[in-house]
Amino acid sequence: MTSQFPRLASRFPRKRAFITGAGSGLGLAMAEALAKDGWSLGLFDFNLSRLATVEEQLSSAGVSVVAYPGDVTHADELTVAVNTFATGRDGLDLMINNAGVACAGTLMETTLDNWQWIISINMMGVVHGCRAAIPHLQRNGSGLLINVASAAAFASAPGMVSYNATKAAVLSISESLCNELRPSGTQVSVVMPTYFKSGLLDSFRGSAEARSLAEQVMDQSGYTSVDVARDVLTLAGAGETYIVLPASARALWRFKRWMPRTFLKSIIAMRERMRRQ
């Protein structure tokens, strides 16, 4: 069978991966893509029924998969799941911290409860996943850690302050880990996609107007979870650290880094155009 991701396959011939938020959206798309390439999978998700359905479908297709229902905000649950999977497979090659939620609102509109909620999942969930996986990845002498952030990490659009902040934290954590893990041979990649069709809004918190705008932009996007999964796994396998998607969004990434003040002004104009569409 020809591998869809030959670089990943050549680097990690034992093909052992663990994915959080694997019950739907991008997490599920990456699980399905890896499954087609013969990877053994550990899948972690908060939604038990959704996770059970995914496990049954993949198992029926002959995939080596174990589902672990749990909450990324609980470090012990995630650590036990990763340790159990890695022990059963004699190691771990790839960890994908994908679980995330969305919240809209200005700084003063966003309640402290919503701040704590989104930080506990989007930021601390990644911290817990990294802490659980890194000992196993380091033990191999080679490993790949993929943290899913968002273009919100650098775009900082108004009205999404809590989401922006947590995704910027994921970017910073990933950049810090690049050098911390380099001596052990572990690669770190951080994923920063713009809007694409996914299940992110399933647990959305915010105004009806903000939700409607997000749904509109997602519906207009021709970029799907399957597309993102393919591009993430291809680029991470090629050794990329910063994975900004789709390719057209990389100009925004460079624009922000080269002319940050001008970029921030342009974001307001782009948001107004979206509202008028």
Domain residue spans of the chain: 9-276
Prior bond of 69 cis (ω within 30°): no
* Predicted pLDDT of residue 273: 56
Whether 28 has a pLDDT exceeding 80, the answer reads: yes
* Predicted pLDDT of residue 126: 98
Q: pLDDT per residue over 224-257, tens digit each? A: 999 999 999 999 999 999 999 999 899 999 999 9
Whether 59 has a pLDDT exceeding 80, the answer reads: yes
The mean pLDDT of 3-17, rounded to a whole number, is 95
Least confident among 70-79, 102-111, 213-222? 213-222
The mean pLDDT of 72-76, rounded to a whole number, is 98
Q: pLDDT per residue over 117-126, tens digit each? A: 999 999 999 9
The mean pLDDT of 118-144, rounded to a whole number, is 97
DSSP-assigned states of every residue in 208-233:
HHHHHHHHHHHHH---BHHHHHHHHH
Whether 190 has a pLDDT exceeding 60, the answer reads: yes
* Predicted pLDDT of residue 185: 96
Residue 215: pLDDT band by 50, 70, 90 thresholds? Answer: confident
* Predicted pLDDT of residue 30: 98
Provide CB contacts within 8 A for 3, sequence distance 6+: 9, 37, 38
Whether 272 has a pLDDT exceeding 70, the answer reads: no
Residues annotated as catalytic are: 163
CB count in 10 Å sphere of residue 228: 25
Residue 275: pLDDT band by 50, 70, 90 thresholds? Answer: low
Percentages helix, strand, coil for the chain (3-state, rounded to 5) are 60, 15, 25
Query: Between residues 202 and 186, which one has the greater pLDDT?
Result: 186
Give me the phi and psi of 107, to 5 degrees please.
-55, -45
The mean pLDDT of 53-80, rounded to a whole number, is 98
The mean pLDDT of 47-56, rounded to a whole number, is 96
In whole angstroms, what is the distance from residue 155 CA to residue 158 CA?
9
Whether 1 has a pLDDT exceeding 80, the answer reads: no
* Predicted pLDDT of residue 79: 98
In terms of Cβ atoms closer than 10 Å to its own Cβ (0-12, 13-18, 19+), residue 66 is middle
Q: pLDDT per residue over 192-205, tens digit each? A: 999 887 777 788 89
C-alpha Rg value of the chain to the nearest Å: 18
User: Which strands, in side-by-side order, build the sheet including 94-97?
Assistant: 65-69, 40-45, 16-20, 94-97, 143-148, 186-193, 242-245
* Predicted pLDDT of residue 271: 61
Q: For all residues of the chain together, what is the average pLDDT?
A: 93
Q: Architecture of 9-276 per CATH?
A: 3-Layer(aba) Sandwich (3.40)
